[in-house]
Structure 1
Amino acid sequence: MKIHYISENNSVLNHFLGQIRNVNIQNDSMRFRRNIERIGEIMAYELSKNLSYKNVEIQTPLGIKKTTEIESDLVLCSILRAGLPLHNGFLNYFDAAENSFVSACRHHPNNDDAFEILVEYQALSNLNNKTVLLLDPMLATGQSIVAVHEKLVQNAVPKEIHIAVVIAAPEGVAYIEKNLPENCHLWIAALDEKLNAKNYIVPGLGDAGDLAYGNKL
């Protein structure tokens, strides 16, 4: 698997990453969503450098200009609900992409820290021979992304899959590397220190879905 770390050099990306972590800023839900969207836009730009392009000729008012445009058939697939602001950021740049959505959540059957991943609602495009961008702000254990990937490839064969996450834990990265095909790409805006005993990312930012849309039951 090819892993891309895109915050190693200073840029405005780190500015927005700092704001979504800051407890004095992140509780403004609208600003949190917008910052995740901005991060999605930056990640989309960086990811776009690895897509396929074709040569085209553009008619301008004064002549013909030779240039390139994206050749890949793109499908944006977000993991609900936290993935929606990130999805919007990618869609701002890949506005011709098709869109898919899958829900995945931690289910604690014994009301303790042990959990399993439930993949329930899905609204999927035709993924055959498409370039799929799988979007989720947080890569903690990696189990949600692996479960959703399994759902995506049950009845389709994508051309390639790019996974984009905002904040990742090393344990999740290792799990993804072990359980997903080598031809996948993993894009990480920020790699954090570790998971805590409850499998939340440290220092992380908290629960991205709650920060974006309010607390859930």
Structure 2
Amino acid sequence: MTIHNLSLTNSVLNTFISQIRSIDIQKDSMRFRRNIERIGEILGYEMSKTLSFNTETIETPLGQNNIDLPTNNIVLCSILRAGVPLHNGLLNYFDNAENAFISAYRHHKHNPESFEIIVEYLACPNLEGKTLILADPMLATGQSMLATFEALKPFGTPKDIHLISVIGAQEGVDFVSQHFDKNTHLWIATVDDTLNDKGYIVPGLGDAGDLAFGEKLQQ
């Protein structure tokens, strides 16, 4: 797997990362969602540099212009509910992308430190020969990303796979590196060192879904 960690180079991305981490700024859920969306736009822009391009001729009012345009058939899949703002940011840049949505959540069987990933809802177009983008803002253990990919397999074999995350733990990055094909690309805004006993990224930012949409009742 090729890992693209954007935090290794300083950019305006640092500002958005600092704001989604801040316990003061993240109290504004609208601003939190918008910052995740903007991070998605940046990640999507960087990812676009690896797409396939073909030269097309554009008619202007005063003549013609030749320009290289992307040719990939993109399917953008996000993990509900935290993935929605990230999905929107990517969709802002990939206007013609098809869309898939999947619910994947942690089910704690016996104690808070033990869980399995449950997939209950999935809507997806045909993936055969297309460019698949899997978007999940938090890459903690990496199990949700893998469970999502496994659930998508009946819909066809993509030509290319790109994983998009905002914040990851090194353990999660290592996990997806081991379980996805070597030609897969991971695009991530920043990587933290550790997970706590409950499998949450430290220092991370908390629960991205709750920060974006409000706290949920636990069943």
Across the two proteins, how many residue pairs are aligned to each other?
217
Partners of 2:195 and 2:111 in 1: CA distance: 20
- Match of residue 24 from structure 2: 24
Does residue 158 of structure 2 align to residue 188 of structure 1? no
Does residue 193 of structure 2 align to residue 205 of structure 1? no
Measure how far apart 1:154 and its partner are: 2.9
- Match of residue 34 from structure 2: 34
In structure 2, list runs of 5 or more residues that go unmatched: none
- Whether the 8 Å contact between 2:77 and 2:102 is mirrored in structure 1 is yes
Measure how far apart 1:183 and its partner are: 1.6
Deviations 1:119-155 (A, max 9, x none): 1100101111110110000000000000101111234
Partners of 1:29 and 1:155 in 2: CA distance: 34
Partners of 1:84 and 1:58 in 2: CA distance: 34
- Whether the 8 Å contact between 2:126 and 2:155 is mirrored in structure 1 is no
Does residue 119 of structure 2 align to residue 129 of structure 1? no
Partners of 1:57 and 1:78 in 2: CA distance: 34
Partners of 2:76 and 2:127 in 1: CA distance: 10
- For residues 102-117 of structure 1, the aligned pairs below 5 Å read 102-117=102-117
Measure how far apart 1:59 and its partner are: 0.3
- Secondary structure at 1:216's aligned position in 2? coil
Compute the RMSD of aligned alpha carbons.
0.8
- Secondary structure at 1:154's aligned position in 2? helix
- Whether the 8 Å contact between 2:196 and 2:202 is mirrored in structure 1 is yes
Deviations 1:132-191 (A, max 9, x none): 110000000000000101111234111111000000101001111111111211111101
Measure how far apart 1:113 and its partner are: 1.4
- Secondary structure at 1:189's aligned position in 2? strand
TM-score (norm. length: structure 1): 0.98
Moved over 3 A (4+): none
- For residues 57-206 of structure 1, the aligned pairs below 5 Å read 57-206=57-206
Measure how far apart 1:6 and its partner are: 1.1
Partners of 1:155 and 1:163 in 2: CA distance: 18
Partners of 2:28 and 2:160 in 1: CA distance: 36
The amino acid across from 1:201 in the alignment is: I
TM-score (norm. length: structure 2): 0.97
Measure how far apart 1:10 and its partner are: 1.4
Partners of 2:8 and 2:186 in 1: CA distance: 15
